[in-house]
Amino acid sequence: MRLFIAINLKEDIKDYLLEIINLFRENTSRGNFTESNNLHLTLNFIGETDKKDLPLLEEAMKHSVENTGIKPFLLTTGKIGRFARREGDIYWLGVLKEENLWTLQKELVKQLKHRGFPMEDREYKPHLTLGRKVEVKRDFHISEVNEQLPARQMEVAKISLMKSERIGGKLVYTEIYSQPFLGNI
């Protein structure tokens, strides 16, 4: 199974992201855009994992929440950015720095490594992927879009272990476990 740990988005945030994705669709010559059901914020990519290791992942998630004492918090969207790629760029919407998010992500890395899961050592850059292999038209300027882009907020109250698979040729992400945070916002 191909797995990752994520924050799943609420419908109003997905609708907001779909508006941005549709703006991109109108102003690109090509791109693979994220489907509504697949919009999420990745915390940790785990990769191919044996089913027998699921209890270890659940344990890592549980201990991460307990060790940080994390309570529900607000996540705020930021501006559009991109990762330049030869085959076409990846466009994303950033999220504003939220200490709870960074604390939780770092603790997850620690707990996953402790249980033998290989983790990348690069800096965490939280983002919501809008599209991959995107080529925007010359007259489409992201800076102009960013100037008018309102921020949106969403309460985050749990993390999810997600399975990534191809079903009927489509990429599908399915929640297979969730770990709620402690208390209320």
Instruction: Express as a percent the part of the chain with pLDDT over 70.
Output: 99
Q: Please tell me the pTM assigned to this model.
A: 0.92
**Shortest CA distance to 57 belongs to which of 175, 163, 157, 161?**
161
**Shortest CA distance to 127 belongs to which of 27, 4, 7, 28?**
7
Q: In the prediction, which pLDDT does 127 show?
A: 95
Q: Above 60 in pLDDT, residue 46?
A: yes
pLDDT band at 87 (very low <50, low <70, confident <90, very high): confident
CATH of domain 2-180: 3.90.1140.10
Q: In the prediction, which pLDDT does 184 show?
A: 61
pLDDT band at 122 (very low <50, low <70, confident <90, very high): confident
Widest Cα–Cα separation across the chain: 51
Q: Above 70 in pLDDT, residue 94?
A: yes
Q: Above 70 in pLDDT, residue 30?
A: yes
Q: In the prediction, which pLDDT does 169 show?
A: 87
Give the pLDDT mean for 17-25: 94
**Shortest CA distance to 161 belongs to which of 56, 76, 86?**
56
Task: Considering only residues 88 and 20, tell me which one the structure prediction assigns the higher pLDDT.
Answer: 20
Tokens representing 103? 């604390």
Q: What is the pLDDT of residues 157-181, one digit of tens each?
A: 999 999 999 999 898 999 999 999 9
Instruction: Express as a percent the part of the chain with pLDDT over 90.
Output: 85
